[in-house]
A and B are shown apart, each in its own frame.
Chain A
Amino acid sequence: MILKKRLIFLLVSFITILTGCSNPEINEINIGFIGPLSTRATDLGIAPSQAMQLAVEKYNSSKTENQPTINLFIEDDKWEKQLALPAYEKLRKEHNIDIVFISNTDGTIEIQDKIMEDGVIAINPLNNDKLLSSLNKNTFKIAKSTEEAHKALGIRLIELGLKKTLILHYPNDFMTIGGNAMKDILTENGIENKLIEVAKNQTDFIEILKNAKEEETEAYVFLGYRDFGFAMKQARDLGIEAPFFGSTTLLDSVFFSNSEGAIIGTECTFFTPLDGNYILASEFLNDYKKRFDYTPFSIWPPMQAFDAMNIVLNEVKMVNEDKNKDETLENWLRNRLFKVRYYQGVCGNISITEDGSSRGIYFSLYKVESDGKLIKIKR
């Protein structure tokens, strides 16, 4: 009898030791999103945050028992780079986030040092440019290429035979990079161009436009946000009939109302379900409408954010199976993201390259037909 007791004791001890050696499970991971929920470029903040929320909800509702629960916390940066760091600090302090999504390029740069210090992985789900790719190893860009999107616009100008171009751009990194990409291709192809950075809250562009008109400028490019609606109206009021071009941010109802309709006919690079995986994108938009009871005005920001979040969730769900106990979540997730070679998302088939930027999201050329409506341009 005593022998039996000893055997049972040994068996229990063995099982205890075995189970005790297993990796401590990660039950929860907190993710933050910093984006413009008010003031400016809210189409780059509100809808993307909701798309990410949708992705998180879908994940949490279908996850298995040993997959971690994801909590998403959202902060407003009003599209101001100065607010990015305080928002990040707040998310860290209050929710101890391990991953942060941030849509503003300047804001992404602002939090660079801090994320390395804290061991946090940063994802920009809207912009992807060479400047961001030159930053630290913890920053990933799961979005269209800023340069490519604007280069396509430059090519369009060249193909239309427009010889003299005025490019006005908003004073932030994204629009500056986009303007320079255009300038480069135009200059390479002998197209006369002028790149002017406007002030942040500038609404009076008459002087610039007058000068451009006098210089017989044949194309006007407005790389910026809603305030350029005033510029378009002012241009038409000055009798400028030359075609307008814009960035990826044209589809904003305030932009349209500021322009008082002058925006109609403006060509821009944009992204719709037709440019991505149409079936998955349509399903996403249906789910979005069902969840939030509306369809976003500008649909590429939520589509990209949805894909970016899903790529991260697709990796994070493996944490308790794949992560070594001595490995930090930061290192493990960074290595996993670098190995993403083929993710079939709503924006298309996406891969992540060695510099943390993504490939596979390609914008097309569209033209504003009316408020909130774009039509695809055929060459």
Chain B
Amino acid sequence: MSFFLLTSNKVYNSNLPLDSQNRLNGILEVELPYLKTELFLLSENLEENDEIALKSPEIIELTNELIELGNNINTLLILKDDYTDSAKMQTAVTLVDEDISRKHEQLNTSLLLLKINYGNLLEDYQNEVAQNLKSLSNIILITGILGILFGIAIAYLVIKSISKPINALNTAALRVSSGDYDAGITLDGKDELASLGASFNIMTSSLRSNFELIKSNNEEIKEQEERIRKVIEASPSALILMDSKKKISLINAQTEKLFEFSRQELIGEPAEKLIPSRLLNKETVVNDIFSSKNRIDTLGIEQNFYGLTKNNGEVPIEVRLSFIEIHEQDMILASIVDITERKHQEAEIKKYVEQLKSKNKELEQFSYITSHDLQEPLRTVLSFIDLIQEDYSDKLDEELNVYLKYISDASNRMSSLIKSLLDYSRIGHKGDLKSIDCNILLEGVTADLKYKIDKSQAEISFNELPTVEGFNLELRLLFQNLITNAIKFRKKTDKPKIDISFEDKRSHWQFNIADNGIGIRDEFQDKIFVIFQRLHNREEYDGTGIGLSHCKKNCRITRWGNLGNI
């Protein structure tokens, strides 16, 4: 319709807007060719005797003719001047009024018929599709029902084929669970269930052998438990096992005996029950062991600790606490020893020590007093002997003078002995511990003994010595005595050589005083420290025989430990 109007308008209106011309061009160049193409493609897909397929060539031909006529009009009438050209106008009018009008009418009729045919065709097609769909849906429904029934049958057979051996397996499994390990199963075939049945038989066989093994293990465990129980019961210590809440879970016979409680009275009871209330704070040790784990602690070793008996009596005890883990549960094992007897013995020993100390003190006091008091009459004796010798020597005969000399010598010796004894008893009675440089000390000693050293041509050597804690006087006497002894007991043929050295023993110093003297035989090593004990006669070596006793006492007093071999 647009095409005819636009072409008519173009022919009869010389001022046709360019928009209309463009619209006409669009119909001629796009829309009518599109119509042709679509119709051609449609008829290609239809049967040859189809109404539309039969009409299509005619419509396409009409469309082509209209396109050509439209193009002719466009070519004829381009400029306004073309409208003034009567020949052109005559041709154009003829084209529009006759050709285009007629062809357009035919095309419209054909398209209308085509539309009707197409509508009918579409309706038939839709009906056919609807019918087909209905039939198809019935087929689908029937097929579906048959499929479902078939599926159910197959499923039933499959389920049955699976459930039968599974039921057999289930029965066998139930028998096994009730302890019948001889329950076997036989499944035919080579499929997975048959394989499962074989595995089940292997499993029951394995279970049976494992069960027997467990049984024998249990017996062994029971025996071990019995042994352990007997060991626990036989333990001389009272044993108490308590849990993390300090509840008693196990005791032995010794515990019953110690605390006078029966086993039934203690199991499940708090351990505090066995401790006097005034000592309950000691319990923190138990908590510490639980918190630190693996720790071992004691009660009653350094301090007195007591257990509380059923009759509220207190027993001195020593407790050793150990952390143990039993079945992932934290426990404490208390090993308790009754130390009543030991405490008694300790008290006895203490008493004896005190008595001994007192006796020693008395003895020392006696020695002091004795030696001091003895000096006085001896001095009187000596004074008178001196007076007799000075005033009456010429009046006495020679034999009496000799006797007097013996009495004088003996008295002097006795005085010397008493003085030594007095000195010995005085050792350790005064003075404070001081830091002593042994080098300075030895220099003083050698200076004091210079006369003896020079006279004997003794050589004394010592390297850098340490500074030690001690009593200055006692140490000085110690070194002095040892050096004097070394000079005194020298070999007649050799010059005395004395070497003083020390060794660092980490916990103490070890001083070594070595000389090239006559030495002391092994059998006399202990004897030489006994007071007034001499190994040589006075003619050979003078002295009182108390020097090394002094040394030993000095060592003891200065806490220098022991004198070693001399």
Q: Which of A189, A342, A379 contacts B18 (CB 8 A)?
A: A379
* CB-defined contacts of B15 to chain A, threshold 8 Å: 379
A-B contact number at CB 8 A = 57
Interface residue B80 (Cβ < 8 Å from any Cβ of A):
yes
Contact A350 B30 (CB under 8 A): yes
* CB-defined contacts of A377 to chain B, threshold 8 Å: 18
Chain B nearest CB from A351 CB (Å) reads 5
Interface residue B29 (Cβ < 8 Å from any Cβ of A):
yes
Contact A359 B30 (CB under 8 A): yes
Contact B191 A1 (CB under 8 A): yes
Contact B26 A348 (CB under 8 A): yes
Tell me the bound Cα distance from A98 to B22 in angstroms: 34
- Beyond A159-B79, A189-B79, whether A364 also contacts B18 by CB under 8 A is yes
Closest A residue, CB atoms, query B34: A342
Tell me the bound Cα distance from A349 to B193 in angstroms: 72
* CB-defined contacts of A363 to chain B, threshold 8 Å: 22
Closest B residue, CB atoms, query A365: B18
Interface residue A63 (Cβ < 8 Å from any Cβ of B):
no
Interface residue B367 (Cβ < 8 Å from any Cβ of A):
no
Interface residue A274 (Cβ < 8 Å from any Cβ of B):
yes
* CB-defined contacts of A364 to chain B, threshold 8 Å: 18-19, 22
Interface residue A131 (Cβ < 8 Å from any Cβ of B):
no
Chain B stretch 28-86: residues in CB contact (< 8 A) with chain A: 29-31, 33-34, 37-38, 78-81
Contact A359 B29 (CB under 8 A): yes
Give the bracket for the number of chain B residues in contact with chain A. 20 to 34
- Beyond A1-B192, A362-B25, A362-B26, whether A274 also contacts B37 by CB under 8 A is no
* CB-defined contacts of A342 to chain B, threshold 8 Å: 30-31, 34
* CB-defined contacts of B158 to chain A, threshold 8 Å: 4
Contact A360 B17 (CB under 8 A): no
Chain A nearest CB from B22 CB (Å) reads 3
Interface residue A375 (Cβ < 8 Å from any Cβ of B):
no
Contact with B along A348-378 (1 / 0, CB 8 A): 1111000000011011110000000000011
Tell me the bound Cα distance from A360 to B24 in angstroms: 10
Closest B residue, CB atoms, query A348: B26
Tell me the bound Cα distance from A1 to B188 in angstroms: 13
- Beyond A360-B26, A365-B18, A379-B18, whether A341 also contacts B34 by CB under 8 A is yes
Q: Which of B30, B37, B191 contacts A349 (CB 8 A)?
A: B30
Contact A351 B29 (CB under 8 A): yes
Tell me the bound Cα distance from A155 to B37 in angstroms: 33
Tell me the bound Cα distance from A377 to B37 in angstroms: 35
Chain A nearest CB from B44 CB (Å) reads 14
Interface residue B190 (Cβ < 8 Å from any Cβ of A):
yes
* CB-defined contacts of A155 to chain B, threshold 8 Å: 78-79
Which applies to chain A's interface (DSSP): helix, strand, loop or mixed? mixed
Tell me the bound Cα distance from A362 to B29 in angstroms: 11
Contact B79 A349 (CB under 8 A): no
Tell me the bound Cα distance from A342 to B191 in angstroms: 66
Chain A nearest CB from B435 CB (Å) reads 93
Interface residue B473 (Cβ < 8 Å from any Cβ of A):
no
Contact B80 A159 (CB under 8 A): yes
Tell me the bound Cα distance from A359 to B31 in angstroms: 10
Interface residue B202 (Cβ < 8 Å from any Cβ of A):
no
* CB-defined contacts of A189 to chain B, threshold 8 Å: 79, 81
Chain B nearest CB from A130 CB (Å) reads 15
- Beyond A350-B30, A359-B30, whether A341 also contacts B37 by CB under 8 A is yes
Interface residue B518 (Cβ < 8 Å from any Cβ of A):
no
Tell me the bound Cα distance from A155 to B18 in angstroms: 11
Tell me the bound Cα distance from A360 to B15 in angstroms: 22
* CB-defined contacts of B192 to chain A, threshold 8 Å: 1
Interface residue A2 (Cβ < 8 Å from any Cβ of B):
yes
Contact B34 A275 (CB under 8 A): no
* CB-defined contacts of A46 to chain B, threshold 8 Å: none
Interface residue B363 (Cβ < 8 Å from any Cβ of A):
no
Contact with B along A3-34 (1 / 0, CB 8 A): 01000000000000000000000000000000
Tell me the bound Cα distance from A365 to B16 in angstroms: 13
Contact B19 A2 (CB under 8 A): no
* CB-defined contacts of A378 to chain B, threshold 8 Å: 17
Contact with B along A63-77 (1 / 0, CB 8 A): 000000000000000
Q: Which of B22, B33, B37 contacts A275 (CB 8 A)?
A: B22
* CB-defined contacts of A348 to chain B, threshold 8 Å: 26, 30
Closest B residue, CB atoms, query A3: B191
* CB-defined contacts of A2 to chain B, threshold 8 Å: 190-191
* CB-defined contacts of A350 to chain B, threshold 8 Å: 30
Contact B79 A362 (CB under 8 A): no
Tell me the bound Cα distance from A349 to B17 in angstroms: 19
Contact B18 A360 (CB under 8 A): no
Chain B nearest CB from A42 CB (Å) reads 28
Tell me the bound Cα distance from A341 to B17 in angstroms: 26
- Beyond A155-B79, A275-B19, whether A351 also contacts B33 by CB under 8 A is yes
Contact B22 A362 (CB under 8 A): yes
* CB-defined contacts of B21 to chain A, threshold 8 Å: 362
Chain B nearest CB from A167 CB (Å) reads 18
Chain B stretch 391-405: residues in CB contact (< 8 A) with chain A: none
* CB-defined contacts of A362 to chain B, threshold 8 Å: 21-22, 25-26
Q: Which of A1, A152, A341, A351 contacts B193 (CB 8 A)?
A: A1
Chain A nearest CB from B19 CB (Å) reads 6
* CB-defined contacts of B78 to chain A, threshold 8 Å: 155
Contact with A along B135-171 (1 / 0, CB 8 A): 0000000000000000000000010000000000000
* CB-defined contacts of B22 to chain A, threshold 8 Å: 275, 362-364
* CB-defined contacts of B80 to chain A, threshold 8 Å: 159
* CB-defined contacts of B30 to chain A, threshold 8 Å: 341-342, 348-351, 359-360
- Beyond A1-B191, A342-B31, whether A274 also contacts B19 by CB under 8 A is yes
Interface residue A158 (Cβ < 8 Å from any Cβ of B):
yes
Contact A158 B79 (CB under 8 A): yes
Closest A residue, CB atoms, query B25: A362
Tell me the bound Cα distance from A145 to B192 in angstroms: 78
Chain B nearest CB from A159 CB (Å) reads 5
Closest A residue, CB atoms, query B24: A362
Closest A residue, CB atoms, query B15: A379
* CB-defined contacts of A365 to chain B, threshold 8 Å: 18
Q: Which of B17, B29, B31, B191 contacts A379 (CB 8 A)?
A: B17
Tell me the bound Cα distance from A349 to B28 in angstroms: 12
Other A-B pairs, 7, CB within 8 Å; known A342-B31, A349-B34, A363-B22? A2-B190, A2-B191, A158-B79, A342-B34, A360-B26, A364-B19, A379-B18
4 cross-chain pairs, A with B, having the tightest CB-CB distances, nearest first: A362-B22, A1-B191, A359-B29, A342-B34
Q: List 14 A-B contacts (CB under 8 A).
A: A1-B193, A155-B78, A158-B79, A158-B81, A275-B19, A341-B33, A342-B34, A349-B26, A349-B34, A351-B33, A362-B22, A364-B18, A364-B22, A365-B18
